[in-house]
Amino acid sequence: MKLKKSIFKIVFLISLLGFPVLGRLSAQPVPGKDENIPFLVTFGKEGKTSWGDDDFYQIFFFSILKDYTKPVYIRVFDPDCGGEWDEIQGEFNTKTKFSVYGGKGVDPEKNEESRGLLKGIGVNYKSGNLLASKIFGNDAKYDNKYYTFGPFNPSEGDFNARWNSYMFKIVCEGISGDDGNLYKYYLSSDPDNNVPIEGANAFTYAYHFRMWNDFKSVAHIYPYIDTGIVYIKQKNFDWDDDGSILVVSRYKQGIPVPISNEDNWVNSNIPIEPPEVGSSLDFQFHKRQDDLVKNNNVVIELENQRGDALKFFSSPIGGVPIYQPKLGYEKVKPKK
């Protein structure tokens, strides 16, 4: 098969839209601005999974280009569990632990356990060197404010040669209680302000997030489709039958995927076409338009046909995908 405009042009686009684009990124809010997600969410470990958290922890990774040598900081917005944004269950009694890791063992491409997807005795998703950690309870001092971890020397991360970047990991755990802690991150070059770092990005393999409490807002997440992927399996948890999940790409105008209801996982396979390789997909979360579902917390994971987990980037690789109706492909005619 070949693309209408020539296979060589597509290969060239892939080289432009693939990992080298990381060197031109400079957006490190998590969730990212293009995602339109209000908060990440982690419940205390005594919470119920039916509230929208399947395992009561969440892991994010930050990548920083090797050429960047100045100190970096990981800032957490509203790290306490109590007050304006967090989800109360009776009374606030939850403690949440944030931990930053660097060094060997962090890179999820070298160490699968670091991704946080494997379950069972002996699995260590807290691999790497612990650089900083803090436990937050119901403390008004941190409500609706930032707490800053760092400074960290970029070389304290785990080096990934493929990306020419150092990797850091932050783990959020609900170590006690049953409330939902809603929070955000920012990778910054300044301890007191959100100043982006050129070429940096953030990603996760299991996205736990809060939907908006209105009918109009659409949330987005952006997995990257690397070379060799022919289909992906999507898995969504506790969607509460809240509308629809659509997949948009340069090739797909918006295909719906099966959705979960209350406290259950639903999965399905999505074929990947040649024009989609080397770019991001846009998973769109549209709320239903009759009865408003409030405080809807969702989990989503993806893997390719080999069972390898896909990354969700806060700043989509290659930019936000736009459907291109004229972008197609056709079979190569046999030579006479």
pLDDT by residue for the chain (336 residues), tens only, comes to 443 333 333 333 333 333 434 444 445 899 999 999 999 999 999 999 999 999 999 999 999 999 999 999 999 999 999 998 999 999 999 999 999 999 999 999 999 999 999 998 889 999 999 999 999 999 999 999 999 999 999 999 999 999 999 999 999 999 999 999 999 999 999 999 999 999 999 999 999 999 999 999 999 999 999 999 999 999 999 999 999 999 999 999 899 999 999 999 999 999 999 999 999 999 999 999 888 999 999 999 999 999 999 999 999 999 998 888 765 544 434 444
**Cβ(53)–Cβ(45) under 8 Å?**
no
| DSSP 8-state assignment for residue 38 | -
Token pair in block for residue 185: 């991150």
Q: What's the CA gap between 152 and 156, in Å, rounded?
A: 7
Instruction: Output the pLDDT for position 30.
Output: 97
- Domains in the chain, number: 1
276 inside domain: yes
Q: How far is CA 78 from the centre of its chain?
A: 19
- Whether 336 is in a domain gets the answer no
User: How far is Cα 143 from Cα 260, in angstroms, rounded to an integer?
Assistant: 32
Structure tokens that stand for 117 in this block: 């997807």
Q: What are phi and psi of 312, to 5 degrees?
A: -105, 115
In a domain, 240, yes or no: yes
Looking at residue 255, its amino acid is I
DSSP class of residue 69?
-
Q: Mind listing the pLDDT tens digit for each residue in 48-61?
A: 999 999 999 999 99
Cβ-in-10-Å burial (0-12, 13-18, 19+) of 30 comes to buried
Query: Would residue 288 count as lying in a domain?
Result: yes
Closest C-alpha to 302, from 204, 201, 205, 228: 205
Is pTM beyond 0.85 here? yes
Distance CA 129, CA 111 (A): 14
Residue 335 located in a structural domain: no
Closest by CA to 73, choosing from 182, 196, 166, is 196
Render pLDDT for 58-100 as a digit per residue (tens, 0 to 9): 999 999 999 999 999 999 999 999 998 999 999 999 999 999 9
Residue numbers of the domain that contains 297: 2-330
Q: Please report whether residue 322 resides in a domain.
A: yes
